[in-house]
Structure 1
Amino acid sequence: MKVAFVFCSAIVAVLASGRNVSISTSSTNKGGVYAPGDLMFEDTFDRFDLSVWQHEITMSGGGNWEFQVYSNTRFNSYTRDGILYLMPTLTNDRWGENFVETGTLSLLGGAPADECTNPAYYGCERSGAGGNIINPAMSARIRTVNSFSFKYGKVEVRAKIPAGDWLWPAIWMLPRHNSYGTWPASGEIDIMESRGNKRLFNLQGVNIGTEQISYTSHYGPYFPYNGYANAHYETQAPPDQGYDTAFHVYAVEWTDTYIRHLLDGVVVGTTTPPPGGFWELGGFPNDVHNPWTGADNPRMAPFDQEFYILLNVAVGGTNGFFPDDVQPPKPWRNDAGNAFAEFWAARNAWHPTWAGENAAMQIDYVRITAV
Structure 2
Amino acid sequence: MTSEPPASVKTSDGSLVEKPWREGPSAAELAKTPFIKRVFTRKRISRVIPHLLALVGLGLGVLQCVLTYIDVSTERMDRQPLCLVMEEDFSGGEDAVFGSGPGGSGGSFWREVNMDGFGNGEFEMSTASSKNSYIKDGILYLAPTLTEDEIGRDNVFGNNGPYIYNITGCTFNETAADGGLIDDPQGSGGKVFDYAGYYAACSATGNNTAGTVVNPVQSARISTLMNAQSGSGNGSTKYGRVEIRAKMPTGDWLWPALWMLPVNNTYGPWPRSGEIDIVESRGNGLAYTARGANYVQGALNWGPSPQLNGVSKSYSWWSDKRVPFSKDFHTYALEWTTSFIRIYVDTRLHTLLEYRFDEPFFEKGDFPETIVNASTGQVQALQDPWVDPETGSPKESAKGRWASPFDQDFYLIMNVAVGGVNGWFPDGQGNKPWFDGGADAMRSFAEAQSEWYPTWPENPDDRAMAIDYVKMWRHCDGN
Note the 1:180-329 alignment, pairs <5 A: 180-202=267-289, 208-239=291-322, 241-267=323-349, 268=351, 269-275=353-359, 277-287=360-370, 288-294=382-388, 295=395, 297=397, 299-327=402-430, 329=431
Which one has the bigger helix percentage? 2
Match of 2:364, SS?
A: helix
1:140 to 211, 220, 223: 220
Q: Give 1:191's aligned amino acid.
A: I
1:125 to 192, 203, 223: 203
Match of 1:321, SS?
A: coil
- Preserved CA contact (<8 Å) 2:112 2:222: yes
Query: What whole-Å deviation, never above 9, does each CA across 1:206-237 have from its counterpart, x for those lacking one?
Result: x6110111100000011111111221011111
Equivalents in 2 of 1:200, 1:337: separation in Å? 28
Equivalents in 2 of 1:115, 1:256: separation in Å? 33
Match of 1:159, SS?
A: strand
Larger radius of gyration: 2
Match of 1:179, SS?
A: coil
Q: Which residue of 2 aligns with 1:364?
A: 468
- Preserved CA contact (<8 Å) 2:261 2:411: yes
Match of 1:348, SS?
A: helix
Match of 1:228, SS?
A: helix
Equivalent pairs counted in the alignment come to: 330
Q: Give 1:40's aligned amino acid.
A: V
- Greater RCO, CA 8 A, separation 6+: 1
Cα displacement (A) at 1:116? 8.0
Over 3 Å counting, the alpha-carbon distance change for 1:302 and 1:209 in structure 2 is: same
Over 3 Å counting, the alpha-carbon distance change for 1:121 and 1:236 in structure 2 is: farther
Deviates more, 1:120-129 or 1:339-348: 120-129
Cα displacement (A) at 1:117? 5.1
Match of 2:242, SS?
A: strand
- Preserved CA contact (<8 Å) 1:70 1:140: yes
Match of 1:41, SS?
A: strand
| TM-score of the superposed pair, with normalisation by structure 1 | 0.84
Equivalents in 2 of 1:97, 1:334: separation in Å? 23
Q: Does 1:159 align with 2:237?
A: no
Cα displacement (A) at 1:319? 0.8
Cα displacement (A) at 1:60? 0.8
Over 3 Å counting, the alpha-carbon distance change for 1:301 and 1:313 in structure 2 is: same
Q: Which residue of 1 aligns with 2:191?
A: none
Q: Does 1:93 align with 2:149?
A: yes
Q: Which residue of 1 aligns with 2:71?
A: none
- Preserved CA contact (<8 Å) 1:212 1:236: yes
Q: Which residue of 2 aligns with 1:15?
A: none
Q: Which residue of 1 aligns with 2:58?
A: none
Q: Does 1:106 align with 2:166?
A: yes
Q: Does 1:344 align with 2:459?
A: no
Cα displacement (A) at 1:369? 2.3
Q: Which residue of 2 aligns with 1:65?
A: 121
- Preserved CA contact (<8 Å) 1:71 1:138: yes
Query: What whole-Å deviation, never above 9, does each CA across 1:334-353 have from its counterpart, x for those lacking one?
Result: 11120111111111111111
Query: What whole-Å deviation, never above 9, does each CA across 1:62-105 have from its counterpart, x for those lacking one?
Result: 10111001110000001111110000000011223422112311
Cα displacement (A) at 1:296? 6.8
Structure 2 residue runs of 5 or longer lacking an equivalent are 1-77, 99-106, 177-196, 228-234, 371-381, 389-394
- Preserved CA contact (<8 Å) 2:172 2:198: no
* Percent identical: 40
Query: What whole-Å deviation, never above 9, does each CA across 1:283-313 have from its counterpart, x for those lacking one?
Result: 2224410111114727000000000000000
2:135 to 74, 79, 86: 79
Equivalents in 2 of 1:141, 1:366: separation in Å? 15
Over 3 Å counting, the alpha-carbon distance change for 1:120 and 1:260 in structure 2 is: farther
Cα displacement (A) at 1:52? 1.9
1:46 to 64, 88, 91: 91
Equivalents in 1 of 2:172, 2:428: separation in Å? 39
Over 3 Å counting, the alpha-carbon distance change for 1:238 and 1:46 in structure 2 is: same
Over 3 Å counting, the alpha-carbon distance change for 1:282 and 1:121 in structure 2 is: farther
| TM-score of the superposed pair, with normalisation by structure 2 | 0.66
Query: What whole-Å deviation, never above 9, does each CA across 1:135-159 have from its counterpart, x for those lacking one?
Result: 0000000000111222111111100
Structure 1 residue runs of 5 or longer lacking an equivalent are 1-25, 27-34
Equivalents in 2 of 1:305, 1:72: separation in Å? 29
- Preserved CA contact (<8 Å) 1:218 1:226: yes
Q: Give 1:92's aligned amino acid.
A: E
